Structures are given as structure tokens and as C-alpha cells.
Structure 1
């Protein structure tokens, strides 16, 4: 049971990390290079779509990590799983306090209705997102080591 839960947790967290890494490393930089601010609408749409999905994905990942940590308690991998889960919680806290407020604004923008400082706001979101990606990559790595 514990091994199955560990594999499910690693797959769920790994795919989430992959999505977040792709957004940080590829999708947003590509959108930002589109001419005439063409990426603004796409980033706004992405903020709406991912803003609906990611809370469940993050919280589900935390729940899986928590159950795995409880089942592993007292074992050799328990501290790795607990630390990985704590890092996912940190990712959730960062999201709620730092990224979601910006993302909520971005979700309402269009090419005709963005504020004058929209590029600065997106740059701030990107910087914070890079830090969050680092945090969840570390959580994923700890989970992978715990399974081995």
C-alpha cells in the first residue's frame, strides 16, 4: 500500500512539477517574445485556466505527501517524505500570499484593458514563480529519493 501511494504521489507531483517548469522555462518566455504584446492575451487565458486547476493539484499533492509521511512514520524515508511535503506546503503558501494576487489580476486583462505596469507585474510573477518551481522541484527530488 505504501509503495503504491509513494508511486502515485511521485507521479502526481512529478507531472505538476513538469507543468510548472514548462511554464517557467518555455511557455511564458515564448509568449513574452510575441510581437505587439501578443502574449498578453495568452498569459491572461493561462492565468484563468491554470488558476482553476492548480489549487486542486497542489492541495492534492500535499494530501498525498501527508498520507505517505504518516504511513512511513518511523521508517528510514519518513523524514524525506515529511520534508518534501513541508516544501509543497511552502509552495502553497507562496502561491496564496504572493502569486495568486498577481495571477487574479492577470486573468482579467486583455490587450485593450491591461494596466500601464502590466509587464512589471508579469516580471514579478515570473520571478516568484521561478522560486516556487525550485521549491517544488526539491520536494519532488526528496520524494524520489525516499522511494529509492
Structure 2
């Protein structure tokens, strides 16, 4: 049973990490290279779409990691799992305090109503997102290390 939990947790969390990595290093650079208002519209749509899914994915991943830590308490690698959970908690707090407020504004922007500094706000979001991606990649690496 613990083996199945470890696999489900690693796959679910790994997919989320992959999506966040893709946003940072694939999608946003593509959006930034699009002409005129296309990039801003793409970011707004992505903010709406992923903004609706990611809270459940982050919390679900955190729950799975917590269950793994509890179920595997007397097995090897539990410290790595707990540390991964701690990094995920830091990323969730960071998201709530820094990224979500920017995203909540950006997902409503159109070329007609966006603020003058919208590019600066998107670049600020990107910088915070790079830190979040680094945290969750480290957490994912710890989970994988706990498997071996």
C-alpha cells in the first residue's frame, strides 16, 4: 500500500512540477515573444485556467506528501519526505502572499483595462515564479530520493 501511495504522490506532484516548469521556461517566454497584445491575452487566459486548477493540485500534493510521511514514518526516507513537504508549504505560502495577488489582477486584464506597468508586474510575477519552481523542483528531487 505504501508503494502505491509513493508512486501516486510522486507522479501527481511531478506532473505539477512539470506544468510549473513549463509555464516558467516555455509558455511565458513564448507569450513574451508574441506580437502586440497577444502575449498579455495569453497570460491572462493562462492565469484564469491554471489559477482555477493549481490550488487543488498544490493542496492535493501536500495532502499526499503528508499521508506518505505518516504512513512511512518508520521506513527509510521519511526525513526527505517531510523536508519535501516543508518546501511545498513554503511554496504555497509564497504563492498566496506574492504570486496569487498579481495573478488575480493579471487574469482580468485586457488591452483596454490593463495598467501602464503591466509588463513590470508580469516580470515581477515571473521572478517570484522562478523561486517557486526552484522550491518545488527541490521538493520533487527529495521525494524521488526518498524512493531509493
Partner of 1:139: 139
Partner of 1:108: 108
Partner of 2:85: 85
Match of 2:36, SS state, is helix
For residue 76 of structure 1, report the CA deviation from its aligned partner: 1.8
TM-score (norm 1): 0.98
Equivalent residues, number: 148
Instruction: Please list the CA deviations of residues 59-88 of structure 1 after superposition, one character each: whole Å capped at 9, or x if unmatched.
Output: 000000000000111322110000011111
Match of 2:18, SS state, is helix
Q: Distance in 1 between matches of 2:14 and 2:124?
A: 25
Q: Distance in 2 between matches of 1:60 and 1:131?
A: 21
Instruction: Please list the CA deviations of residues 91-138 of structure 1 after superposition, one character each: whole Å capped at 9, or x if unmatched.
Output: 111110110000000011011211000000000000000000000000
Partner of 2:122: 122
Partner of 1:94: 94
Partner of 2:60: 60
TM-score (norm 2): 0.98
Unaligned runs of 5+ in 1: none
Verify: 1:45 aligned to 2:42, yes or no.
no
The two structures, once aligned, show a CA RMSD in angstroms of: 0.7
Q: Which runs of 4+ in 1 moved over 6 A?
A: none
Match of 1:36, SS state, is coil
Partner of 1:69: 69
For residue 8 of structure 1, report the CA deviation from its aligned partner: 0.3
For residue 36 of structure 1, report the CA deviation from its aligned partner: 1.1
Verify: 1:24 aligned to 2:55, yes or no.
no
Unaligned runs of 5+ in 2: none
